[in-house]
Amino acid sequence: MIGNIAALAIVPVAGVAGIIFGLLFKGLDRVLGARMQARVGPPLLQPFIDVKKLLMKENIVPQNAVAWLFNAAPVAALCASIALLLYIPLFGSGALLEGSGDMVLVVYLLLLPSLAMVAGGFASGSHYATVGAQREMVAMLSYEFPLAIAVVSAAWLLASKAIAVQAFSLAALSAFPLWSLVGTLGFVGLAVLLAVLLFVMPGELGKAPFDVAEAETEIAGGVLAEYSGVNLALFYLADAVKSFAMAAIIVAIFLPWNATAMLSISDMWAGAAAGALFFLAKVFAVMFAGNTFMRIALARLRITQVVRVYWGYASAAALAGLLLIAAELVLVV
């Protein structure tokens, strides 16, 4: 418990680091997206400028909004996103609250920013925001299923092969990388599950092609339609932190290797630096594949199509991955 209390003291540090790296990756995402469209794109630090500007703007609370909920939702979204960071192994070292949380907790924490957005959307008193909030809920229901299958499969594999550890523990995942536990069949299964998780990522983050809840060209920004100024900046930060956290979760489950151990660096600081850089490189790879590439390559789907894609194709793919891993566990023991 004393360790946990000490860890709580560095919560603000985690928050600031999450915000800085989240915004950096957001800037990188925007620049790369622009380059993929043969544009020059904004400066790398554009998201920082955007946030600073939003903090200077007037903060309007609409007359027919439920003011307390409308103002609480962005704070809740940012807090939940930062809380998420505490349970994920970051920068090549363990999670701040290592041992206190596991994958199930992380999956539920991932839901919280979206729930806050839904609450804020309904509290806005705007038709657009209400439609956006309803869509956000439907999208949540849709992507949760393939996400759950992927996470449970990873835990099942871990529990079957490395019996001594807690199945849903993120720390155990980094100690026993999943890929080293399986043969060919399981390898294919894991690859499918990784692809499914990358596909769930834009849905989870409300990015194209699954940005139905915020569709600015059809429902005027959806859940965020009535938000301005500081509240909008908080949602912007929450989104940046959550994107970073989501990528870090995928890294923790599927790409948990540590540069410090791999390169067998003895010096503590050099090892930490190498671990952190390697971690950032992995997060960047996941971000690029699951966010930037999808966002630029695919156009927005309708909400019905989002449900079909996630409950139909993504779930089928995830189940296929699960079956492949099951086949591996049953046949090749």
Partner 1 sequence: MGMNDFKRSLWVFHVNTGSCNGCDIEIVASLTPRYDIERFGMKLVGTPRHADVLLVTGPVARGMDKKLRRVFEQTPDPKVVMAIGNCGISGDVFYESYNLVGPIDKVVPVDVFVHGCPPRPEAIIDGVVKAWAKLEEKGAEGKKGLRKPVAGKAAEKSGGTKSAKEVHGKSKAGGKAE
By the criterion CB under 8 A, which residues form the site for partner 1? 30, 34, 37-43, 46, 49-50, 52-53, 55-60, 128, 215-217, 219-221, 224-229, 232
In angstroms, give the least distance from the CB of 120 to partner 1: 13
Is the separation of the CB atoms in 66 and 222 below 8 Å? Answer: no
> What minimum distance in Å lies between the beta carbon of 146 and partner 1?
28
To partner 1, the closest distance from the beta carbon of 212 in angstroms equals 13
Q: How far is the CB of 48 from partner 1 (least distance, A)?
A: 9
Q: Which is nearer to partner 1, 16 or 45 (CB)?
A: 45
CB 137 within 8 A of CB 156: no
Q: With respect to partner 1, which residue has the nearer C-beta, 97 or 213?
A: 213
Amino acid at 316: A
| The residue to which tokens 């998420």 are assigned | 84
Cα–Cα distances (Å) from 107 to 90, 104, 152, 229, 241, in that order, read: 16, 5, 11, 30, 15
Q: Which is nearer to partner 1, 35 or 68 (CB)?
A: 35
Q: Nearer Cβ to partner 1, position 115 or 220?
A: 220
Output the smallest distance, CB 54 to partner 1, in A. Answer: 8
Nearest Cα to 105, choosing from 120, 122, 126, 83? 83
The identity of residue 140, as a single letter, is: M
Nearer to partner 1, 52 or 302 (CB): 52
Q: Report how far residue 233's alpha carbon sits from residue 53's, in angstroms, rounded to the nearest whole number.
A: 9
In the complex with partner 1, the residue whose CB is nearer, 127 or 277, is: 127
Round to whole Å and give the CA distance between 186 and 97.
Answer: 31
Nearest 5 degrees, angle CA 50-CA 76-CA 138? 90
- Shortest Cβ 324–partner 1 spacing (Å): 42
The Cα–Cα gap between 16 and 197 comes to: 26
